[in-house]
Amino acid sequence: LRLGVLASGRGTNLQAILDACVNREVPARVVLVISDKPQAQALERARAAGVLAEYHDPRIHPGRASYDRHLADRLEEAGVELVCLAGFMRILGSAFVERFRHRILNIHPSLLPAFPGKDAQRQALEHGVKVSGCTVHLVDEGVDTGPIVLQAAVPVLEGDTEESLAERILQHEHRLYVEAIRLYAAGRLQLEGRRVRIVPGGA
Ligand code: GRF
C-alpha cells in the first residue's frame, strides 16, 4: 500500500508510521511526505528514512481550493493510495476530499465528537473530563467529523497540564494510527453509512 503523509510539525506520528513500515508491521510504504511548513521536523524525519519529502507553500496559491488541487495532484502523481494526515494544520476542502474519498485518515487527540478542532487537550482540561483519548477517522469535508475508525481512551489525571496530557495521549496515537493503517491495508474497514465496521481478520 502506497502511503502519502501530510504533516506540519514535529512528525512523531509520521515517525511511528515510518517505523511500522520498515519493521513490516504494516504492508505499506511511505512514498511521499508533504508539509506546508518549510521547517517541519516531519520533513527531516522523512528524509532520514530515505523518503521523498516536499514543502509546498500554500501562499503562492490564490486560494485554498487551488492548494488543495495542487496537493492532490502531487499525491496522485506519486501513486499514493492512502493519505495520512499527521498533525497537518490545514483544513482540506472538497477539492481534495473528493479526489481521495474514503482514502484519507486523520488522527485527533480527543475522543471525537468531543473537542474537535484546535487545542483538543486544552478543551478537555477546561471541560474537566476525567477521560480523553485519541481518534483515527476517515476525513470528510467537515473538521474532525468523518467516520470513526479507532479510538483509545486515556485518563486525565489530577494536576495534568496541556503538555502532560498531550504527551500521554500521544503514546496512544502512535499505536492507534499504525493499527488503523494495518486494518485499512488488510481491507478490513467497511463503511456502512457513516459508521466504519471492522471486519474480523483471518486466523
Ligand atoms: C498530534 O497530537 C495529532 O493528534 C494532532 O497533531 C499532533 C501531531 O503531532 N493532529 P506529531 O507532529 O505527529 O508529533
The dihedrals phi and psi of 11, each to the nearest 5 degrees, come to: 80, 30
CA angle 192, 198, 202 (to 5 degrees): 135
Annotated active-site residue 108? The verdict is yes
Q: What is the pLDDT of residues 46-84, one digit of tens each?
A: 999 999 999 999 999 999 999 999 999 999 999 999 999
Q: Ligand 1: which of 107, 167, 175, 177 to mutate, most ligand atoms within 8 Å of CB? A: 107
Whether the per-residue pLDDT at 202 is higher than 90: the answer is: no
Grid cell locating 50: 530515505
Ligand-binding site membership of 198 (annotated): no
pLDDT at 59: 96
| Nearest CA-CA partner of 175 in 10, 5, 17, 31 | 17
Q: Is 12 in the pocket of ligand 1 (CB under 6 A)?
A: yes
What is the CA(98)–ligand 1 centre distance, in A? 24
Tell if the pTM clears 0.95, that is, is over it: yes
Domains in the chain, ordered, with CATH? 2-198 (3.40.50.170)
pLDDT at 201: 85
Per-residue pLDDT band for 203 (boundaries 50, 70, 90) equals: low
What is the CA(143)–ligand 1 centre distance, in A? 15
Cα 1 to Cα 17: distance, rounded to the nearest angstrom: 12
Ligand-binding site membership of 106 (annotated): yes
